[in-house]
Amino acid sequence: MVNLLVKNRFFLPLIYVPLILSLAGLIFIFEASAVKATSLFNDSFHFFKAQLLWLLIGINLMVVFSLIDYRKIHLIALISLIVTFILLVIVLIPGIGLQAGGARRWLDLGFFNLQPTELAKFSVIVYLSCWFSRKAKRVFFSYVVLISLLISLIVLQPDVGTAVIVFLISMIIYYQAGMSLGNFVSLVILGVAGFFLLIKSAPYRLNRLIAFVDPSIDPLGIGYHINQIKISLSQGGLFGQGFGISRQKYFFLPEAHTDSIFAIIGEEYGFFGGLVVIFLYLIFVYRIYHLVRLTPDILAKLLATGIFAFFNLQITINLGGVVGLFPLTGVPLPFISYGGSHLVISYVLLGILLSIEKRVKVS
């Protein structure tokens, strides 16, 4: 595989950029979590070591999936979807699903915590790609039922950010498969209606929207997180405070090593440091986009499109939330944020891209 990648230099960023971001992420995770890790576990390297372990697992799984012909992915598509539904139900059971911050999103498997919603993203990409590659027409009703059930289980956790991502990924794959304009409009209407229904059913979501528009309304409550992010970014200036100088990581900024890690990057490395990270992401997603154009068959095109949507949505929603363009949703930043489930799934999807890449000709 190494020889193949050396010859095909165009796709090297598919590996290099994620590895660079992951290694940088390890540094940022240690930077942002050392104080918290010392307080909770008496080990400043706790989160660093956990992320390093998951990075090694993810890289190994990436190699495995890159060596498997992507056309055999249908063998696990249905199994993956069934397992996802089972886990999404189990995580909602009190006493089994771990609860944190008012949400029940994790399963304690002893040696690690599994987040089923990350598997849901993988399952949607793989299952819908296999399904639509064989039969894209006359499946609208079945598609709506399937996605509605899946999103409902995710919203019950609650995890609206992931629900939005799963819905948009499914729509993009369906559109690439040849969805009619009428079905597309219907899905948009259903999505908007569902969004307003979610707001109406839980007042705290409306409060979050209000805090997004004006964080000063409740600076010590619902607006606290976004205010601390703004403080962190504003302290960074153009070139940052310097390596290890962040003050917000001292229990001021919530989720400093997970969803808000870009704020710590901005504080320590400034505007230009943030631009470097964004530039690396742009290189990465552009390579995936170009791969989509070169895919040899419909299954490869749908898989690559779904993965392209996955990374783009994760990056856009996370960064948009941090800089105040979108409400905060708890979506991790790919390859950088702390989180084993998300990191492993990201590398598995990367492995599928590499499997597709082997069978295309670079123009």
245-254 average pLDDT score:
80
Percent of the chain with pLDDT over 90: 50
| Phi then psi dihedrals of residue 194, to 5 deg | -65, -40
DSSP H or E segment with residue 311? helix 298-322
* pTM of this prediction exceeds 0.85: yes
- What is the rounded average pLDDT for all residues in the chain? 86
Least confident of 60-64, 137-141, 278-282, 291-295: 137-141
pLDDT tens-digit profile of 145-172? Answer: 999 999 999 988 888 889 999 999 999 9
Q: What are the sequence ranges of the domains in the chain?
A: 2-357
pLDDT-derived band at 101 (thresholds 50, 70, 90) equals: low
Binning pLDDT at 50, 70 and 90, where does residue 361 land? low
Residue 186's identity, in one-letter code, is: S
Lowest mean pLDDT among 21-25, 80-84, 135-139, 234-238: 135-139
Q: Is the pLDDT of residue 21 over 60?
A: yes
Strand 113-114 to strand 103-108: parallel, antiparallel, or no bridges (unpaired)?
antiparallel
pLDDT category, 105, cuts 50, 70, 90?
confident
* Helix axes 261-294 and 13-41, enclosed angle (nearest 10): 150
CA-CA distances (angstroms) from residue 209 to 71, 135, 214, 228, 238? 43, 39, 9, 17, 29
**Positive or negative, the Cα torsion across 237, 243, 245, 246?**
positive
